[in-house]
């Protein structure tokens, strides 16, 4: 059991007993289960919860919350465990509430182009279900994350540049509050001016304000035509200039991803591709046949002006899948550059006009590091990541990585950007929230204290201690 007294939490034991009564075998204290729920995909140390609950309905989540609330025990919503900023570690013990048992797609309306799903439904599961409807759900953070988790971190990914992030694609939520009350934040209207926007308040709250158990999402029509291309550039700057000019031209590209030379080497090895080891853009265009052609010609001309090579096209679905799978595997691919390493990820987003300067300066920062690093990202949004591959046993390397991360974050903030474009705060960015939001953090804390006065929901995440 963890040290809870200083924060006023109760011991987990009585809550675990009460939870076992209602959940039976769907409440586990097995070490392996607890370990599995004590970490995400980042290198943050494993901190297992005291037990893991596996509710299968909103009512059961509410019952879990009421019990934990009564016993003053922390609750940590858990999806696929694919977050990357230390979002799910049980820093103060308590109960991990695994929502993957809530995996039903409750309804799909092709007429309204929306659907309602339980929190544990994954994005690939949803898109498989949508296969024959002519619709798809575009938000794609790479991992096959749960929709609930994606809402919690305000996830985005490769095609947010055209279709928006989770924030733009959520219509309403069912939320279980810390005390077990259940609310629905909205209906299915495309727009509303009825009261405070609770939907967006809970979106991105990383499990610190309540459990998201059901989500109503916008869906999008599958484009009539889709075409993907890969383009090599002489240097990163040329690639980024092409991105900036494309965005400023108003062309609505569906995806626009930068991968640096080392990342391309990693992908070649991991995904058995044979691209030149040079900076590349991976692009996708959606629209009518004529529209896609029009967009692609314009971007190709911009790329050529910046010294880019010819587009290598992937028009058939199979080729495209292979291409984007390779992009999505960039993270494991990079890790293989230094097997056994601890990957450290950065995630800033800046106004597009500052992106070239920001990436140039980041490259300079990275030159000081002895470890392998790659730059990649959703550059059409002004969002990019650095992967820094650290020796897990070297405190020195981790310290260097953190120092470079801080330089990147402070630069992004100085450019009116954000310390996290899509990963969330978790533990990893908690030190920068005041730098980004100043007194706004006090307002966030006021809201947190009002909605979760006992501080039971995912404690130690998002909000820094009072200064």
Identify residues 416-455 at the interface with a copy of itself (CB under 8 A).
416-425, 429, 432-433, 436-444, 446-451
User: In terms of CB distance, is 168 or 235 closer to a copy of itself?
Assistant: 168
> If you search the block for the tokens 């995440």, which residue do you land on?
461
Based on the shown chain and the rule CB under 8 A, indicate whether residue 76 belongs to the binding site for a copy of itself: no
Start-to-end CA span in the chain (Å) = 28
Residue 243 beta carbon to a copy of itself: minimum distance, rounded to whole angstroms: 12
Based on the shown chain and the rule CB under 8 A, indicate whether residue 407 belongs to the binding site for a copy of itself: no
User: In terms of CB distance, is 83 or 267 closer to a copy of itself?
Assistant: 83
Residue 96 beta carbon to a copy of itself: minimum distance, rounded to whole angstroms: 21
Which of 19, 121, 209, 333 lies at the binding interface for a copy of itself (CB under 8 A)? 209
By CB under 8 A, which span of 93-101, 151-159, 275-283, 307-315 interacts with a copy of itself? 151-159
* Cα dihedral 55→59→61→64 (10° resolution): -100
Exposure string of 343-362, with b = 16+ CB inside 10 Å and e = fewer, is bbbbbbbbebebbbebbeeb
By CB under 8 A, which span of 5-13, 38-46, 277-285, 378-386 interacts with a copy of itself? 378-386
Residue 266 beta carbon to a copy of itself: minimum distance, rounded to whole angstroms: 25
User: In terms of CB distance, is 321 or 446 closer to a copy of itself?
Assistant: 446
**Are 93 and 50 in contact, with CB atoms under 8 Å apart?**
yes
| Beta-carbon count within 10 A of 195 CB | 8
Based on the shown chain and the rule CB under 8 A, indicate whether residue 196 belongs to the binding site for a copy of itself: yes
Residue 295 beta carbon to a copy of itself: minimum distance, rounded to whole angstroms: 9
Based on the shown chain and the rule CB under 8 A, indicate whether residue 153 belongs to the binding site for a copy of itself: yes
User: In terms of CB distance, is 153 or 362 closer to a copy of itself?
Assistant: 153
By CB under 8 A, what part of segment 224-253 binds a copy of itself? 244, 248, 250
Long-range CB pairs of 428-437, under 8 A, 24+ apart, other chains included: 428/42, 428/44, 428/84, 428/85, 428/86, 429/85, 430/461, 430/462, 430/463, 430/464, 431/464, 433/462, 433/463, 433/464, 434/464, 434/467, 435/409, 435/410
In the sheet with 51-53, reading across from the earlier edge strand, the strands are: 27-28, 51-53, 95-98, 75-78
DSSP letter at 146 equals B
Q: Give the binding-site size for a copy of itself (rule: CB under 8 A).
A: 87
Exposure string of 419-455, with b = 16+ CB inside 10 Å and e = fewer, is bbbbbbbbbbbbebbeebeeeebeebeeebeebbebb
Helix (H) or strand (E) holding 330: helix 330-335
User: In terms of CB distance, is 248 or 368 closer to a copy of itself?
Assistant: 248
By CB under 8 A, which span of 18-26, 201-209, 327-335, 397-405 interacts with a copy of itself? 201-209
Nearest alpha-carbon partner for 143 in 343, 284, 325: 325
By CB under 8 A, what part of segment 157-186 binds a copy of itself? 160, 165, 167-168, 177, 181-186
Collapsing DSSP to helix, strand or coil, 387 comes out as strand
By CB under 8 A, which span of 189-197, 271-279, 313-321, 359-367 interacts with a copy of itself? 189-197
**Are 54 and 95 in contact, with CB atoms under 8 Å apart?**
no
Which of 25, 194, 339, 465 lies at the binding interface for a copy of itself (CB under 8 A)? 194
Which of 20, 113, 278, 301 lies at the binding interface for a copy of itself (CB under 8 A)? 113
Residue 133: burial class (beta carbons within 10 Å; 0-12, 13-18, 19+):
middle
Based on the shown chain and the rule CB under 8 A, indicate whether residue 6 belongs to the binding site for a copy of itself: no
Based on the shown chain and the rule CB under 8 A, indicate whether residue 107 belongs to the binding site for a copy of itself: no
**Are 63 and 181 in contact, with CB atoms under 8 Å apart?**
no
Based on the shown chain and the rule CB under 8 A, indicate whether residue 189 belongs to the binding site for a copy of itself: yes
Nearest alpha-carbon partner for 78 in 98, 63, 64: 98
Q: Would you say how long the chain is, in residues?
A: 467
Nearest alpha-carbon partner for 320 in 290, 283, 351, 295: 283
Which of 68, 76, 228, 462 lies at the binding interface for a copy of itself (CB under 8 A)? 462
User: In terms of CB distance, is 245 or 397 closer to a copy of itself?
Assistant: 245
By CB under 8 A, what part of segment 323-352 binds a copy of itself? 349-352
By CB under 8 A, what part of segment 259-318 binds a copy of itself? 288, 290-291, 294
Based on the shown chain and the rule CB under 8 A, indicate whether residue 381 belongs to the binding site for a copy of itself: yes
Based on the shown chain and the rule CB under 8 A, indicate whether residue 155 belongs to the binding site for a copy of itself: yes
| Beta-carbon count within 10 A of 339 CB | 7
Collapsing DSSP to helix, strand or coil, 362 comes out as helix
Which of 353, 402, 406, 410 lies at the binding interface for a copy of itself (CB under 8 A)? 353
Which of 14, 131, 192, 310 lies at the binding interface for a copy of itself (CB under 8 A)? 192
By CB under 8 A, what part of segment 16-75 binds a copy of itself? none
């Amino acid at each position: 059991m963890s040290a809870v007294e200083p924060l006023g939490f109760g011991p987990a034991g009585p809550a675990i007993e009460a939870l076992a009564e209602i959940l039976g075998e769907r409440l586990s204290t097995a070490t392996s289960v607890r370990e599995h729920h004590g970490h995400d995909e980042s290198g943050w140390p494993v901190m297992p919860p005291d037990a893991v609950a596996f509710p299968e309905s909103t009512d059961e989540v509410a019952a879990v919350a009421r019990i934990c609330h009564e016993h003053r025990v922390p609750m940590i919503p858990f999806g696929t465990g694919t977050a990357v900023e230390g979002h799910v570690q049980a820093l103060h013990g308590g109960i991990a509430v695994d929502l993957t048992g809530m995996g039903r797609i409750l309804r799909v309306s092709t007429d309204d182009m929306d659907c309602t799903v339980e929190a544990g439904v994954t994005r690939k599961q949803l898109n498989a279900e949508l296969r024959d409807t002519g619709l798809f759900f575009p938000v794609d953070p790479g991992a096959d994350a749960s929709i609930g988790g994606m809402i919690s971190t305000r996830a985005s990914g490769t095609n947010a540049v055209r279709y928006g992030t989770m924030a733009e694609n959520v219509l309403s939520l069912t939320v279980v509050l810390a005390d077990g009350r259940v609310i629905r934040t909205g209906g299915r209207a495309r727009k509303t001016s009825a009261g405070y926007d609770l939907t967006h308040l809970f979106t991105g709250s990383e499990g610190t304000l309540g459990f998201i158990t059901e989500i109503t999402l916008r869906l999008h029509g599958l484009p009539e035509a889709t075409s993907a291309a890969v383009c090599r550039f002489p240097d990163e700057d040329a690639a980024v200039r092409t991105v900036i000019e494309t965005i400023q031209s108003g062309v609505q590209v569906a995806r626009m991803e930068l991968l640096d030379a080392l990342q391309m080497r990693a992908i070649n090895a991991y995904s058995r591709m044979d691209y030149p080891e040079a900076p590349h853009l991976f692009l996708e265009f959606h629209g009518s046949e004529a529209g896609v052609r029009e967009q692609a010609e314009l971007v190709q001309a911009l790329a050529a002006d910046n010294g880019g090579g010819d587009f290598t096209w992937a028009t058939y679905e199979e080729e495209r899948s292979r291409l984007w799978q390779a992009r999505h595997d960039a993270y494991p691919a990079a890790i293989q550059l230094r097997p056994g390493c601890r990957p450290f990820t950065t995630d800033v987003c800046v106004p597009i006009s500052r992106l070239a300067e920001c990436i140039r300066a980041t490259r300079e920062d990275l030159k000081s590091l002895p470890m392998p690093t790659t730059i990649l990202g959703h550059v059409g949004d002004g969002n990019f990541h650095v992967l820094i591959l650290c020796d897990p046993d070297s405190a020195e390397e981790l310290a260097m990585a953190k120092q470079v991360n801080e330089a990147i974050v402070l630069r992004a903030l100085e450019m009116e950007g954000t310390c996290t474009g899509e990963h969330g705060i978790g533990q990893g960015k908690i030190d920068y929230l005041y730098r980004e939001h100043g007194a706004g953090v006090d307002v966030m804390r006021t809201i947190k204290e009002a909605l979760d006065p006992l501080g039971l929901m995912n404690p130690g995440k998002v909000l820094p201690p009072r200064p």
